[in-house]
Structure 1
Amino acid sequence: MILPEYDGRCGWYELLENVSAFPALEGDARFDTVIVGGGFVGTAAARRLAQNCPDERVLLIDALKLGQGASGRNSGFVIDQPHKRDLERADDPFKRKIVRLNRIAMEHLEQQIADFGIDCQWSHAGKYQGAVGPRGLKFLAHYEQLLRNFGESYERLSGAELRAVLGTDYYSAAIFTPGGVLMQPAALMRGLADSMPANVRVVENTPVQEIRRQTQGFTLKTPTSTLSCRRIVLATSIFTAELGFKKDRILPVMTFASMTRPLTDAEMACFGGQLDWGLTPADHAGTTMRMTQDRRLIIRNSYRYAPEYNTPAAILPKIRARHREGLDQRYPALKEVEIVYTWGGATSLSANFETYFGQLDEGIYSSGCDQSVGAARGTVSGLMLADMMCGKNTEALRDMQEVSGNPSCLPPKLLLRVGVPLRMALARFASRSEL
């Protein structure tokens, strides 16, 4: 069985101060519901379930510390609009359901941040989608047409207009959409963990190794305890298959990011752009960029098939060199600004671009295959799982069920080990002008 590992390289998490401690579980215990996985799905499900059923005992258990896993390793976007493949679907009612659900997620997160004073650089900064050359401009034109047809507000900016924001003339054009949010993901996850309702117990550094069905409910084995419960939420993303569910239907793909040290005053003057912006590529295989509120540049590109789920240290120097090249192309005057962190984060994809949501088996609930939009999708699906479990038949739950599907079966792993890297290599070659 493969378990999550923390590599100590994620800049978001390493920059946190005074991280709280939730002890590992020792000894046997019983709960009404056990939620396995403390990411966006798990934290949202735990909070909503505790609110829906205040007399129940809920356990939120994670193999790592909350914020060290995939939810604390993303680029820090919470996207309100349909993203990538979802935006390209022809059915406008389908897309409007996604928008409503994403905005429910954003409102929920913002309410927790306000209620509990979570310091996570939460910002209604919107999102830029940028193009470098002719290939990117073609994708950008398609994106603009989709937004226009969908009736969502946006602004198209020229390269000169972008220069004042991004501090570089590397991009030819971009489309700005105002509804997106930027944040520090590891700080957000820690804040959510620290503010759980009283009937939620948080346990960290305790991997669940086995699930067994009993006459009434389940037992879960960890290295130091046996848990009993009536029902389970598997908020385990790519590790769901390791616990026996959705086998051969979840494609684990890892993307890589690097973060610089903060720019000095002199370097900021040379940079000449603004703080607190985020840009995703018009070409799906292109480069994501962030400038944080604390003056750090973040660059994210490079993908790999990750059947071992974790980050092999041996590949990081090559990834960091690739990121260095990307930064130097955009900011040649900032070559002396060191990269201080490089990390990988795994996401769960499906071959047919379908997400899944609902009951995996009697008493076992899950949501996954977020297609790289886990902050919004994970949050709202966690909320809706809790409502489903408590018999709350809301419009939002019906929307979630309607926009979810069944991930298709993947080819044998031997073929995946050859085919997926080849396809990624071809995509990188085709998109080389946009990197």
Structure 2
Amino acid sequence: MNTRAIHLPHDDHDCGWYAALPPPAATKRLSGKQQADYAVIGAGFAGLAAARRLAEQKPDARIVLVDAQRVGYGASGRNSGFVIDLPHKMALEHPDPAHKQRLLGLNRAAIAQLQRLVTQHQIDCQWSHAGKFQGAVGPRGLAYLEHFERLMTELGEPFRSVDRDELAKVIGTRHYSRAVFTPGCYLMQPAALVRGLADSLPNNVELLEQSPIQGLQRDSKGQWVLQGADGQIRTPSLLLGTSIFTQEFGYLRSRLLPVMTFASWTRPLTQAEMDSIGIQLDWGLTPADHAGTTVRMTQDRRLIIRNTYKHVPRYGKSVSDSTRQEIREGHRTALLARYPQLANVPFTHTWGGVYAISRNFTNFFGELETGVYATACDNGVGAAWGTISGTLLAEMAVGSDSKHLQDIKSVTGMPSRNPPEPFLGLGVRTRIRMAAWNSRSEL
């Protein structure tokens, strides 16, 4: 293969999670000619987990982890801070109970792994076993909530119905008719967690940031050559933790859909403001209707509103400043619908994060060609899935085997092929608009 990455990450500069961190240490960039036993592209949840597991299994190997941006600046540092044990809503509808149990086991293995690392390395990331609410506003949301309860019953997983009054004592609003509480979710500050995972990598991992790989080819000796602006890496084994950007290296083209979702958060609330609405700290609520609004209250008193989806074929460059402002105004409407008493509390940041989905809701995991391995297409549940899939991808690359590795092979496959443009973009945009319209009562 001889290819050149055309579209590089182009994230906005307004991610609240990242802005809340202290300034990062000086970056080390790719320069000169380097040789590695293993190279990993992408320092998000998947790439960090892959590099760590490679280092554990091959302590004498040289592993290079390279990212186009600073750690925590990309998609892994831009989610809403949920690490969810349950399979995604679509996966919960899979007809095979064993399939769902494998997904549940993989997600819980990821949570246990992250818990261990947070504790071992004392990563300050607001890590919390808080569980999660799934909330419904009106009849549409309530119908989705009842469907979710049936799926949970079939799965044999614990859940608890929470009425309006009980919910309001936690989240400080009577906007929701009812919710379902599930206990297995963890909450965290994603940019802080990702940076902490990078800072605690084993000594035989070298992290290179702000070093976009712009070309990839195999040389005459069968080595992969990763070409950057000021240097190159040669390696016999390449692992891609690049999510949607996997297609920029020539793989899974026409099989991944780039979608961006957006969030805004407030400044930290004062104690008086907290008391005025009767709100508690450290909880998360996702919508029963998947196109509705996610709400988070952080440990440092910030309210987060997340909704709005965009098809972004050019990633961040697909979203203009005027579009971001329009999205921010929509977030403001959603905030005030829930908390009209906070009319004088401003948003300080509004940001987007891009991820990959597939039309057949299938994750890719495995060897793309000799010496190239990838996990791609998290379908919007990246923290747990990225962690476990990156870990197991490293095990595959070194020839290990485990029950979890067999499980992930059995629940993944090939994302279906997309129709050509302009039909693809037209179809995706139409579907997103229809979902937003149908779910407007839940926003």
Question: Could you state the TM-score of these two structures normalised by the residue count of structure 2?
Answer: 0.97
Q: 1:86 aligns with which of 85, 91, 101?
A: 91
Q: Distance in 1 between matches of 2:286 and 2:32?
A: 46
Which residues of structure 1 form unaligned runs of 5+? Answer: none
Number of residue equivalences: 435
Name the % identity.
Answer: 51
The equivalent of 1:95 in structure 2 is 100
Letter in 2 for 1:266: A
The equivalent of 2:237 in structure 1 is 231
Question: Are the aligned partners of 1:237 and 1:348 in contact in 2 as well (CA < 8 Å)?
Answer: yes
Q: Distance in 2 between matches of 1:21 and 1:359?
A: 34
Question: Are the aligned partners of 1:206 and 1:223 in contact in 2 as well (CA < 8 Å)?
Answer: yes
Are positions 1:366 and 2:371 aligned together? no
Q: 1:334 aligns with which of 342, 358, 366?
A: 342
Q: Report SS of the residue matched to 1:90.
A: coil
The equivalent of 1:292 in structure 2 is 298
Alignment map for 1:117-128 (pairs within 5 Å):
117-128=122-133
Q: 1:209 aligns with which of 211, 214, 219?
A: 214
Q: Return the offset for 1:108.
A: 0.8
Q: Distance in 2 between matches of 1:51 and 1:194?
A: 16
Q: Distance in 2 between matches of 1:188 and 1:271?
A: 30
Q: 2:172 aligns with which of 167, 174, 182?
A: 167
Letter in 2 for 1:339: F
Question: Are the aligned partners of 2:261 and 2:309 in contact in 1 as well (CA < 8 Å)?
Answer: yes
The equivalent of 2:3 in structure 1 is none
Q: Return the offset for 1:88.
A: 1.1
Question: Are the aligned partners of 2:30 and 2:232 in contact in 1 as well (CA < 8 Å)?
Answer: no
Which residues of structure 2 form unaligned runs of 5+? Answer: 1-5
Question: Are the aligned partners of 1:20 and 1:194 in contact in 2 as well (CA < 8 Å)?
Answer: no
Q: Report SS of the residue matched to 2:32.
A: coil
Q: Tell me the C-alpha RMSD between the 2 structures.
A: 0.8
Q: Distance in 1 between matches of 2:187 and 2:130?
A: 6
Q: Distance in 1 between matches of 2:230 and 2:136?
A: 51
The equivalent of 2:28 in structure 1 is 23
Over residues 399-420 of structure 1, what are the superposed CA-to-partner deviations in whole Å (9 max), with x where a residue is unaligned?
0101111100001121122111
Question: Are the aligned partners of 1:238 and 1:309 in contact in 2 as well (CA < 8 Å)?
Answer: no
The equivalent of 1:33 in structure 2 is 38
Question: Are the aligned partners of 1:124 and 1:179 in contact in 2 as well (CA < 8 Å)?
Answer: yes
Are positions 1:309 and 2:315 aligned together? yes
Question: Are the aligned partners of 1:252 and 1:347 in contact in 2 as well (CA < 8 Å)?
Answer: yes
Q: Return the offset for 1:68.
A: 0.4
The equivalent of 1:377 in structure 2 is 385
Alignment map for 1:252-267 (pairs within 5 Å):
252-267=258-273
Are positions 1:193 and 2:198 aligned together? yes
The equivalent of 2:57 in structure 1 is 52
Letter in 2 for 1:301: N
Q: Report SS of the residue matched to 1:28.
A: strand
Q: Report SS of the residue matched to 1:129.
A: strand
Q: Return the offset for 1:7.
A: 2.2
The equivalent of 2:151 in structure 1 is 146
Q: Distance in 1 between matches of 2:53 and 2:423?
A: 41
Q: Distance in 2 between matches of 1:332 and 1:411?
A: 44
Q: Distance in 1 between matches of 2:441 and 2:55?
A: 49
